[in-house]
Amino acid sequence: MSALGSLYARNARSVVYRGALASKSSNAVVIISGFFEPIFYLLALGFGLGSLIGTVQTQGGAEVPYAAFIAPALLAVAAMNGAIFDSTWNVFFKIKYAKLYEGMLATTLGPLDVALGEITLALSRGGLYAIGFMIVMQALGLNLAWTALLALPAVLLIAFGFAAIGMAITSYLNTFQQMDWINFVLLPMFLFSATLYPITVYPEPVQWFVQALPLWHGVELVRGLTTGVLSPLMLVHVLYYVVMVVVGLVFTTRRLRVLFLS
């Protein structure tokens, strides 16, 4: 049997099926609050603050209303937060306390099935948030071009990337305290990744740093699509997330194998 055969049984859907059944009993408040959070930001900042600001220039050089500038960023952030929540806290609990993966890996499932299944679940929550938010954007006239439709798969890719990296990191953590570091990283990344104002406000060295962060790539990708200002750089953003997905999957699979099959 090939090496991949012992890691992957092509049955990640059973893990998704399990997640769907389990989510019936999950906390509705958490799910709903995750949905409304970006909408509140959009209303408060986009329209409240936006009425003082007027228009902003995007990376691509287009002048857009402030709300249309931050809405795609909030969309990317919502995808990130949804994916991270499910792939970190939930996964940590399942590894450490529920022994869920121990049970799964005693069957024919391989660690890659478990990783793919859990990441798909995490991604689908992020995806649901994104669809809801895009409908709100459409209603408020913040989708400025037809390419906004492509923002949906883009957001799924962003969620996939964050979920994969989130699960990989979580599988290496030992205590709840270490989990706090994840939030410690996420919040400043949200605030400073050219989400609420253009990256050009920073001095050049800071710009370089921000451009190395994953969220900036997500924000720029989605913003380009919803404002209709396309550029070849977007392929770099996509590639960035593809690499995140691959790296995340490889490390998660490896770690699950060490934890439960060695």
Please give the residue ranges that form the binding site for other proteins (CB under 8 A).
1, 5-6, 9, 11, 14-15, 17-18, 21-22, 25-26, 98-100, 102-110, 260-262
Smallest gap, in angstroms, from Cβ of residue 123 to other proteins?
19
Smallest gap, in angstroms, from Cβ of residue 37 to other proteins?
24
Given phi > 0 = left and psi -120 to 50 = alpha, else beta, which region is 99?
left
Q: Which is nearer to other proteins, 79 or 100 (CB)?
A: 100
Q: Which is nearer to other proteins, 82 or 117 (CB)?
A: 117
Q: Which is nearer to other proteins, 45 or 112 (CB)?
A: 112
Look up residue 222 and give its amino acid. Answer: V
Smallest gap, in angstroms, from Cβ of residue 92 to other proteins?
15
Q: Which is nearer to other proteins, 67 or 105 (CB)?
A: 105
Q: Which is nearer to other proteins, 48 or 103 (CB)?
A: 103
Q: Which is nearer to other proteins, 5 or 141 (CB)?
A: 5
Q: Which is nearer to other proteins, 109 or 136 (CB)?
A: 109
Smallest gap, in angstroms, from Cβ of residue 219 to other proteins?
34
Smallest gap, in angstroms, from Cβ of residue 128 to other proteins?
19
With vertex at residue 220, the alpha carbon angle to CA 84 and CA 196, rounded to the nearest 5 degrees, is 80
Given phi > 0 = left and psi -120 to 50 = alpha, else beta, which region is 194?
left
* Positive/negative CA dihedral, 236, 241, 244, 246: negative
Taking a C-beta distance cutoff of 8 angstroms, is the pair 88, 166 a contact?
yes
With vertex at residue 57, the alpha carbon angle to CA 55 and CA 61, rounded to the nearest 5 degrees, is 140
Smallest gap, in angstroms, from Cβ of residue 217 to other proteins?
34
SS3 97: coil
Smallest gap, in angstroms, from Cβ of residue 254 to other proteins?
14
What's the token pair of residue 255? Answer: 């770690």
Length of the chain: 262
Buried b (16+ CB within 10 A) or exposed e, 28-39: eeeeeebbebbb
SS3 218: helix
Pairwise CA distance, residues 257 & 141, whole Å: 48
